[in-house]
Structure 1
Amino acid sequence: MLCVAAPAKGEAAEHPNILYIVADDLGYSDLGCYGGEINTPNLDALARDGVRMTQFYNTGRCCPSRAAILTGQYPHRVGLGHMTVTDLGQPGYRGVVSDEAPLIAEVLKPAGYRSFIAGKWHLGTPDPTKHGFEEWYGTTVSAKRFFDPTHLVRKPDGRKARTYPEGEFYATDAVTDHAIDFLKLAHQTPERPWFLYLAYNAPHFPLHAPKEEIAKYADRYQGGWDKLREQRLTRMKQFGIVPESTELSPRSMWKNYGETKTGTNPPWESLSEERRTDLARRMAIFAAMVDRMDQQLGRVLDYLKQTDQFDDTLIVFTSDNGACFEWDPFGFDVKSSNNNILHTGDKLDEMGGPGTHHSVGSGWANASNTPWRLYKHFNHEGGINSPGIVHWPAGLKAKPGSLHRDPAHIIDLLPTAMAVSGATDAGSLPLPGTDLIAQLHEGGPERMLFFEHQGNRAVRAGKWKLVALDDEPWELYDFTSDRTEVNDLANQYPDKVKELASDWDTWAAANNVTPLPNDLGVDYLKVD
């Protein structure tokens, strides 16, 4: 259990440095400080001395979430309602971030900030340094190869990326190396504050990790996802992340690539021994990726401490969406598709190494999102509710180690940066979010939050959540007693369903969400 100890607090500088850290496909309960068994001491320390949010929302998918973080807008409003795959010919689905809204680096620049990015971009444009960032090292797309240095690039043109001896490159480490390089560059002008967007690819598939990290977890997941979900929920209750009355949601359904098959995650004990061994190895690699990310983040935090910048750096950590189910309980191999390989014998030891390509599958993703339903892609809690940690010793008044239980959203991150930096101009589009630090200090008025991805949709309003799967009717849940979305109250409260659905329709029309595209241009979704 976390030990709560108050940090030494000094006077906050006029404008702090800002560090936003985003993991990729991390589940709600994967971190130690959120009930997980994965070793994450650096993030746990930030939580111990900062604030954990229990209802911190994203958009349910990588590109839209990154657009929301960097523009402060709902993603459809800036052209990224789906992915960067293709332009669907509708304002909300252009496949590239709109120039109508300035990005956070451009907003902060007039306030004197230097801005840097290390890691994943994924906004459809080829170069973040054309959007206000001075330096960048990372990938424009999703993670493809963690052991291949050619997968990551250095910008602006003419900058040299670090080089690594043969066999010693690992993307999480390299992103961290360059992030520290950028911080050293910023430290050459100490009179100017900085903003660093540290967007790790981990633990997005393919499951790649150094062998020594995988070895730590080689035997950890033999007990399966059913026991793991129970163990995590027990710790979450001990930490106060969820109420003692929280019941574990049933095993979630899944839809495979192309939606040719659907089903429900099976009981672990119903699987063959060979299948359980293969799956346990997949989760061990996933855990190793999270562990290594935490280690590397620790290097960044150590640098800030060594240079006396740690206390007056506002740090926010979250994930872009919930854990990824793609595309069934057994996971995929070779590429994202229906292809699955059952690994046995010596082939198990090869998993997670260079040249391999695996995913963790829906059973483990369900466990990562304990105790919620569903996963990335969806708007139930497993898709859109992520860990959220805020740390700022010199400026945060909330009690160290405390929990913030009011809903917040990644659209709040740009208004937060503006509030602490003194920046005043976010362009002509009104910002739908609010200052997160003010929320933590003072609370705030009841708010409504809206969601849509691939036809899945939701509204959060006070104690209520209205949510639906694509082409399915609305479901209604009372979050004072049922955040696991088990007891659908839609038939009992039809007027509330009608009211919130009308609110969603109004929001959707104003934010380029509707009309929903008939065809999203990807081969894993049905075409209306």
Structure 2
Amino acid sequence: MNKISLLTLATTLTLSVSASEKPNIILIMSDDMGFSDLGCYGGEIQTPNLDKLATNGVRFTQFYNTARCCPTRASLMTGLYPHQTGIGHMTNDPENPKAFDIGLPGYRGFLNRNCVTIAEVLKEAGYSTLMTGKWHLGMHEKNQWPLQRGFDQFYGILAGASNYFEPRYPRGITSGNDTISVNDPDYYTTDAFTDHAISFIRDANSKNPEKPFFLYLAYNAPHWPLNAPTEDIDKYRGRYKDGWQAIREERYIRMIELGIIDSSWTLSPQDSRSWDSLPEEKRKEMALRMEIYAAQVDRMDQNIGRLIDYLEKNNLMDNTIIVFIDDNGACAEGGELGGGPVRQLETRQGYFLTYGQAWANASNTPFKRYKHWIHEGGISSPMIVHWPNGIKENDQGKFIRQYGFLPDIMATFVDLAGTQYPEKYDGNDIRPLEGKSLVPLFKGSEKPVHTEPVFWEHEGNKAVRMGKYKLVMAWNNQNPDKWELYDLETDRTEMNDLSEQFPDKVYEMKRMWNEWAQRVQVEPWSKVLELERKQNKK
């Protein structure tokens, strides 16, 4: 008997398609990359392969993530808000199985069984389900691993980060259900994840060429540590010698020229000390940190090019939809000027090696804030969709300006597969899908997908978007109810707070947020912190 009991949802388009007509689906995600890092989003980093996908596909200018690695993955994989999946904060730490598990339903640190993954749904729809890269959705019990959550094949890291050259247990490589050692002196995670992605596709097609495949390729690039091959770093020597504000201004102008942003949106203020105030030796170090970061993005793009070459040479490109997104805004962890020993830069060593808040601010041009926060710099993701058989030629290169968010990915893939989202799976009740299909936008519709509000919460940072308005709060224990209101049509960089001007709008949207929080198992952040402190003492 089929595991899934089906329920037709208003949010899901049911299609009658044969297996041979179903598109292959590839979902590629980068890790901790800024909104403006890619060339096709205004950056100076060389990303010709992603740029080509954008030119021959569509780009979203307002696609939203959840501001942090694992809550984003939870929402992405399930079509739900992260708290509904059990990952309202973070996943369990590799060294501590109980870390971030406070015993409340929304905060267990691993995916619960009242959600289904994209792999579980597509596997029932007749897809081969393949994954390489970063999982970060639970690791201490094998029933939390990818093969137990719908994937046929897996190669990658279960934890949230690892050294790129020498990933080691417990932040090492897992192949299928086995932890393995890496001894190759030329090993590099970005290359290895692509190698296995291509191998998995080849194997799946050799067994059954008529069977469509779903590939989830979750790179750890450019998440810290700053590790990159020397030949890629060499391409950027001297490029960042003028500092972060110069890069922000360059990108801002380029983004306006490309049409990514509106020229009326003010560039947010520089969120760091001035470059010229640094001693010369510190400027050299900070330029190098950004050079390595750029090399990591560059190397990822090179590998995406290898995957594209394989698809083209094997006549798979036309009937394959490729979706590229990032998991959160650029990462400011490590402080204003980055973290980790300088001596480890340009070596094979290091774990917590970062480029810092000042460069993260540049990566998120023109927005303010970054990963963790729910202002636009924390939650805005580049999103590219390439689909030769589905995107009309006259729509290629188009910008999609309607906003979408992570749960829409599940709804979109359910739509593409001609299947339905389940009410029950493997004997468990499944929470209703929160997203909506984006397929109409791919096919040229300009109608908004979301006429209902969408919400965020992470570490006490809160937001709700309804139409052009966004109500947002950066958590502050001293002033826990300070909400800001922005009109994102005229002020996407959130420079003009309208909360005092429109108190009724603030009241209405705040009420929406509180009702949502109660529905999806959000707890007060002060309560979460206290329970986590108690848990960590055990």
Q: Considering the TM-score relative to the shorter chain, is it more than 0.5?
A: yes
What residue identity is the alignment partner of 1:488?
Answer: D
- Mark the CA change 1:225 to 1:488 in structure 2 (over 3 Å): closer, same or farther: same
Equivalent position of 2:23 in the other structure = 16
CA distance in 2, matches of 1:302, 1:13: 22
3-state SS of paired residue (2:360): helix
Q: Could you list the runs of 5+ residues in structure 2 that have no partner in the other structure? A: 1-18, 93-99, 424-429, 534-538
Equivalent position of 1:403 in the other structure = 399
Q: Is the counterpart of residue 143 in structure 1 residue 138 in structure 2?
A: no
Select the residue among 123, 129, 133 that pairs with 2:151: 133
Number of equivalent positions: 486
Checking the alignment, whether the CA contact within 8 Å between 2:166 and 2:182 is kept in structure 1 is no
CA distance in 2, matches of 1:429, 1:304: 35
Equivalent position of 2:465 in the other structure = 460
Select the residue among 11, 25, 33 that pairs with 2:32: 25
How far 1:156 moved relative to its partner?
Answer: 2.7
Q: Normalising by structure 1, what TM-score?
A: 0.89
CA distance in 2, matches of 1:503, 1:458: 10
CA distance in 2, matches of 1:235, 1:351: 30
Equivalent position of 2:448 in the other structure = 444
Matches within 5 A, 1:359-378: 359-378=354-373
Aligned Cα root-mean-square deviation (Å): 1.9
How far 1:519 moved relative to its partner?
Answer: 3.9
Select the residue among 302, 308, 322 that pairs with 2:329: 322
3-state SS of paired residue (2:464): strand
CA distance in 2, matches of 1:236, 1:161: 43
What residue identity is the alignment partner of 2:215?
Answer: L
CA distance in 1, matches of 2:223, 2:510: 33
423-432 or 21-30, which deviates more: 423-432
How far 1:163 moved relative to its partner?
Answer: 6.5
Equivalent position of 1:57 in the other structure = 64
Select the residue among 61, 64, 75 that pairs with 1:68: 75
Calculate percent identity across the aligned residue pairs.
48
Select the residue among 197, 203, 217 that pairs with 2:222: 203
How far 1:116 moved relative to its partner?
Answer: 0.7
Q: Is the counterpart of residue 239 in structure 1 residue 246 in structure 2?
A: no
CA distance in 1, matches of 2:72, 2:387: 23
Checking the alignment, whether the CA contact within 8 Å between 1:35 and 1:233 is kept in structure 2 is yes
The C-alpha deviation readout for 1:139-183, integer Å capped at 9, x for no partner, is 11112210114444344346x979764x20111101111111101
Checking the alignment, whether the CA contact within 8 Å between 1:41 and 1:294 is kept in structure 2 is yes
Q: Is the counterpart of residue 88 in structure 1 residue 92 in structure 2?
A: no
Equivalent position of 1:3 in the other structure = none
434-443 or 119-128, which deviates more: 434-443
Checking the alignment, whether the CA contact within 8 Å between 2:226 and 2:354 is kept in structure 1 is yes
Q: Is the counterpart of residue 435 in structure 1 residue 453 in structure 2?
A: no
CA distance in 1, matches of 2:193, 2:312: 19
Matches within 5 A, 1:337-352: 341=341, 343=342, 347=343, 351-352=345-346
What residue identity is the alignment partner of 1:53?
Answer: F
Q: Is the counterpart of residue 120 in structure 1 residue 120 in structure 2?
A: no
75-84 or 351-360, which deviates more: 351-360
Q: Could you list the runs of 5+ residues in structure 1 that have no partner in the other structure? A: 1-11, 253-264, 334-340, 524-528
Q: Is the counterpart of residue 108 in structure 1 residue 122 in structure 2?
A: yes
3-state SS of paired residue (1:495): helix
- Mark the CA change 1:232 to 1:91 in structure 2 (over 3 Å): closer, same or farther: same
Equivalent position of 2:200 in the other structure = 182
CA distance in 1, matches of 2:46, 2:267: 23
How far 1:223 moved relative to its partner?
Answer: 0.6
Q: Normalising by structure 2, what TM-score?
A: 0.87
The C-alpha deviation readout for 1:415-455, integer Å capped at 9, x for no partner, is 11100101213333111111111234322352321001000
3-state SS of paired residue (1:518): helix
Checking the alignment, whether the CA contact within 8 Å between 2:460 and 2:524 is kept in structure 1 is no
